[in-house]
A and B are shown apart, each in its own frame.
Chain A
Amino acid sequence: MNPQVRWLIERSAQKIKWIFILGLGFNFVYYGYVQIIKRGYFQARAQNQAIKLRPIYAPRGILYDRNGVRLVDNVNAYELVIHRDELPINDEVLRSFATEFGLEEDGFLNAVRTYRDEGSGIEPLAIQANLTEAELALAERLKARFPFLSIESSPRRSYRDNELAGHVLGYIGEIDSKTLKRKPGSFQLGQWVGREGVEAQWDSYLRGRDGAKRIMVNRSGDEIAMLDEENAEVGRSLVLTLDLRLQKILQESFEGKKGAGVVLDTRDGAVLAMYSSPSINPNVFAGRMSQAQVDATINNLEKPMMNRAIQGIYPPGSTFKLLTAMAGLEKKVITPETVFYCSGRKNFYGRDFRCDKETGHGAIALIPAIAQSCDIYFYEVANRLDVDDIYASAHRWGLTVNTGIDLPNEKPTRIPSRAWKAKTSPKDPKWYAGETISVGIGQGQVGVTPIGLARFYATLANQGRPVIPHLVYGMKNESTGQVDLTPAPPQPMIFLEPRYWEVLHEGLLQTVQSGTAADSRLRDVDMLGKTGTAQVAKFINRSHYLRQTKSLRDHAWFAGYASKEHPEIAFAVLVENGGFGADSAAPIAAKLVKYWMVDRLQPDRPTSPSLSPSRR
């Protein structure tokens, strides 16, 4: 190689070397910038994507019946969620995910926006709960492309007996925004809480407290290591006062009927059975429900969402006559020996009032007037009272307020008074004496719930000792099996002259022995009760009544207790459009009493108790 060529080569190579050193210098500077000046930013980002705070769900408390029979299970279901710290900012990504997963785009985006703007905390956004096998496979596949998705196992409720105690147990669901706003700080968006029944009322006990864990995740979002955790507090288990067998009998009795029944333990107010027909299946709500299903249930003309036992307000009809009698006795307008004459009809204040028995009962005293359900007798009593006297008695007996049962949304009983009318109908505030006549037999403006009436009859059975109906018997410690009882607070006694109790009990006993409910008399046990017929539409005469369509037929009542000497249970049964109380409501009550007072105590009681009330 000649020196000139060597010189050329050297000159070019040196130039290349300088270009190279320039490039190398640039990289020294740029790496220094990223690794030293910007390291805080990048280190924070590295941590944020590798270390995550995630909730640990507290297992919800279990529900048992009074005999320890399990009513509900916690099961694990797969749920597709997005955690807050992984929520994509780009709506386009969300849109294409929604399309691929088969979600309605705008609805999904709205849900994401609500979650992003209104919520905080570690509760993730639930996209789809209770994934099916196919959805799970699809979700797994989509996760590769949409790394913000997480598939989590989350505890769900499974109610063992479906409709059996739907209204009592209630169900759980995602928290609604109203509750969220009412109690800021105590809930998080997306959290599952009790929505009805015991699940809602006792939610704070059942729910426990969710924990949290700090975990290290890899690129796929899989947990690699747990850094630290705050344990979840398991929810408290509840033992309910329900007796599942009694509940079953009640449910079967209402097959094909609308209405409600309540059975109380007269000794402590424990609810032994409560059923509202048509019932709801909490599994439907705990699972996944489309908006259409929700609407269909809520707008159903039969109103299955309503717990008729505590929310249905019906005129008590003749079951109210006991209160009229009591008010009369207390006000001394009658004595147990007072006799009125019933000719089948009587005119009060220019209006004709009829007795159920068109031919009339003739001269009749208090006890047979109760047993035969003579209307004229109680018109006469009411006529001698002011409406406020009846109201005062009702108030003393606790009929003017809620019973205080531990269920949400109990509706108050409605007992009219002068003040009440002035308030509710300002156009016609004056009370007319004629209105008091209707109130005397539980018609007109009077409205009671089955639970309110059952409590009234329980107080009657206890000779004035009221009880507060309740559904929780105690809390169960799942590890020791021990049950801590929740004692019922004592209530002030209602005083009535002792001989009057005897008269009222006798009237109720004769109703079943020989009176209006004689068909439902039981062979082995004394049942006491009162039939009632609540007018749906005013009727002109019986033949017309019989032609009425079913929805206009009267509601049938039967309320009472058993037994006379040792009262244990009180009940109220209402069958909507059931006609006469003796025909449809009393036989149901008879089945309940027979099971509780007789069959239950047989050592070899049949698994499905034969339920035929003895007939005369």
Chain B
Amino acid sequence: MSGMPSPFSFRNVLFPAMLLACLGLMNIYSAGRNTPLSLLWVKHALWLGISFGLAFGIRQREGGQAFQWSIPLYVLSLVVLILVLGFGKTIGGSTRWFSLGFLGTFQPSEVAKWITLLLASHFLGQYQPDRIPKYFLIIFSATILVPMSLVFLQPDLGMALSFLPIFILVPLVRSFRFKSVVVALIALSLTGFWGWKQGLKPYQKERIMTFLNPSKDLRGPGYQINQSRIAIGNGGLWGHGIGGGTQTQLNFIPVKTTDFVFSVWAEEHGYIGVCVVLSLFGLLITRMLDIGIRARTLEESYFAIGAACIFSLHFFVNIGMVIGALPNKGMALPFFSYGGTQTLAFCLVLGLLSGIEHRGVAKS
């Protein structure tokens, strides 16, 4: 089978992404109504246009060269991450951005995360799975931990955590066992819980909390999550329609164009709308995993599966957080949360995957 499948086919990973982007754009429009951000959707549309344009470009032209560029890109991203700590713009107690004038801000960590994944996949792809030397694992871990620490220092705990799925690449081909992951997670959280309970004095906890969460909620703990839950429940089965949600339109939902953008969707489009978006994400991420299975080379497989895991983390943390199932930790929902750099990064990654998909499908 030769030639390219139509971009409007579920066999193309960019298609569910485009659908999600359309819904997300509509949602940003509604969230911004009657606020100073009423034209935010225009900016978002502009970013989406550029990003998807580049994604399709990459899909056509790129043929695996991205991995060759991964080392210089990685070095560059480390330099930029250091620079942002020194010269970045501080918002809400955290230094993460470079100012870009009209286009808003540029957040280097959004891109650094993907470059790290690219480099990690490239490194790991050099070895046969059963021949990975022990010392290499140390280098591999350092590759991830260095940019992750730089992000943590900004401080941006959410973003730092989103580096973690890259580690999954190691056990992927070495007897990956579900059980061991569960045991490791339980052990980790128990240790953390015990350490928090026993090891720290209250003022130390307070300090850590303010460090991790600089723009702390002024209206008391749980206020934001509470308002978000009310909005979701208020949506009911069918939702209140665009501009009809009181929680959204009367500004009860906090930061409703970024972290809590999905509460807006849930209030205005109800459970039906939620199911549509959950299904599209399901489609997108399973498709990404399938690309990993069908890729030509090992590094492409690693990259696709790693990307799917990072996407999943964003997705679960965000929708779990807005409904109160997970703690309030800011992580963007791909294609829904406003954010120029992150939208661009998500699209470029999907563009790369689409290229891999194309070549993989063509060969098999």
Contact = CB atoms under 8 A, between A and B. Distances in A.
Interface string B245-266: 0110011100000000000001
Contact of B278 (A8, A12, A27): A27
A13 to B, nearest CB: 5
Given A20-B312, A34-B232, A45-B230, A50 B173 contact: no
Given A1-B298, A27-B320, A35-B237, A13 B292 contact: yes
A39 B240 CA distance: 13
A30 B323 contact: yes
Contacts of A24: 278, 281-282
Contacts of A1: 295-298, 301
B339 to A, nearest CB: 22
Contact of B298 (A5, A45, A144, A147): A5
A50 B219 CA distance: 17
Nearest to B238: A35
A10 B293 CA distance: 5
A9 B323 CA distance: 34
Nearest to B235: A35
B285 interface: yes
B246 A216 contact: yes
Contacts of A147: 219
Interface string A1-33: 100011011111111110111011001101110
A31 B266 contact: yes
Interface stretch (B46-54, B81-89, B269-277): B269-277
A46 B231 contact: yes
A51 B252 CA distance: 12
A45 B233 CA distance: 9
Interface stretch (A217-225, A329-337, A501-509): A217-225
Contacts, number: 141
Given A1-B295, A6-B293, A27-B278, 7 more contacts: A11-B176, A12-B173, A14-B293, A17-B289, A27-B319, A31-B271, A49-B230
B229 A16 contact: no
Nearest to B237: A36
A214 to B, nearest CB: 14
A32 B237 CA distance: 8
27 contacts: A1-B295, A8-B176, A9-B298, A10-B293, A12-B172, A17-B286, A19-B178, A20-B282, A20-B286, A23-B312, A24-B278, A28-B278, A31-B278, A32-B271, A34-B229, A35-B237, A35-B266, A35-B270, A36-B236, A43-B236, A46-B234, A46-B247, A49-B230, A50-B247, A144-B218, A145-B219, A217-B250
Contact of B246 (A13, A30, A46): A46
A289 B81 CA distance: 61
Given A31-B271, A47-B246, A219-B250, A8 B293 contact: no
Nearest to B297: A1
Where chain A touches its partner, the secondary structure class is: helix
A9 to B, nearest CB: 5
Interface string A316-341: 00000000000000000000000000
B45 interface: no
B252 A50 contact: yes
A288 interface: no
Given A35-B266, A42-B230, A9 B251 contact: no
B92 interface: no
A8 B266 contact: no
Nearest to A5: B129
> Which 7 pairs from chain A and chain B are nearest by CB?
A42-B233, A46-B234, A12-B176, A35-B271, A218-B250, A50-B246, A39-B236
Interface in A112-153: 144-145, 147
A35 B176 contact: no
Nearest to B302: A9
Given A9-B173, A23-B316, A36-B271, A42 B234 contact: yes
B345 interface: no
Nearest to A1: B298
Among A31, A43, A147: residue with most chain B CB under 10 A:
A31
B220 interface: yes
A24 B312 CA distance: 10
Among B246, B266, B312: residue with most chain A CB under 10 A:
B246
A38 B230 CA distance: 10
A93 B251 contact: no
Contacts of B219: 145, 147
Contacts of B172: 8-9, 12
B233 A35 contact: yes
Interface string B298-324: 100100010011001000100110010
A44 B227 CA distance: 13
A432 interface: no
A35 to B, nearest CB: 4
Contacts of B234: 39, 42-43, 45-46
B292 A9 contact: yes
Interface of B: 128-129, 168, 171-173, 176, 178, 218-220, 227, 229-237, 246-247, 250-252, 266, 270-271, 274-275, 278, 281-282, 285-286, 289-290, 292-293, 295-298, 301, 305, 308-309, 312, 316, 319-320, 323, 325
Nearest to B285: A20
Where chain B touches its partner, the secondary structure class is: helix
A41 interface: yes
Contacts of A219: 227, 250-252
Contacts of A47: 246
B178 A50 contact: no
A10 B364 CA distance: 15
B232 A31 contact: yes
Given A1-B296, A1-B298, A224-B250, A38 B173 contact: no
Nearest to B250: A218
A19 B308 CA distance: 12
Contacts of A21: 282, 286
A195 to B, nearest CB: 38
A6 to B, nearest CB: 8
Contact of B323 (A17, A34, A93): A34
Contacts of A31: 232, 266, 271, 274-275, 278, 319, 323
Given A1-B297, A47-B246, A13 B289 contact: yes
B176 to A, nearest CB: 4
A39 B237 contact: yes
A41 to B, nearest CB: 7
Contacts of A9: 172-173, 292-293, 298, 301, 305
Nearest to B274: A31
Contact of A145 (B171, B218, B227, B316): B218
A32 B235 CA distance: 11
A8 B129 contact: yes
Contact of B232 (A16, A17, A42, A50): A42
Nearest to A50: B246
Contacts of B270: 35
A145 B216 CA distance: 12
B233 A50 contact: no
Interface string A221-249: 00010000000000000000000000000
Nearest to A224: B250
A45 B235 CA distance: 12
Contacts of A16: 168, 289, 305, 308-309
A20 B270 CA distance: 23
Contacts of A34: 229, 232-233, 323
Nearest to B181: A19
A17 B288 CA distance: 10
A455 B103 CA distance: 87
A36 B251 CA distance: 23
A28 B289 CA distance: 21
Nearest to A21: B282
A217 B275 CA distance: 31
A592 B116 CA distance: 100
A217 B84 CA distance: 41
Contact of B178 (A8, A15, A216): A15
A93 B305 contact: no
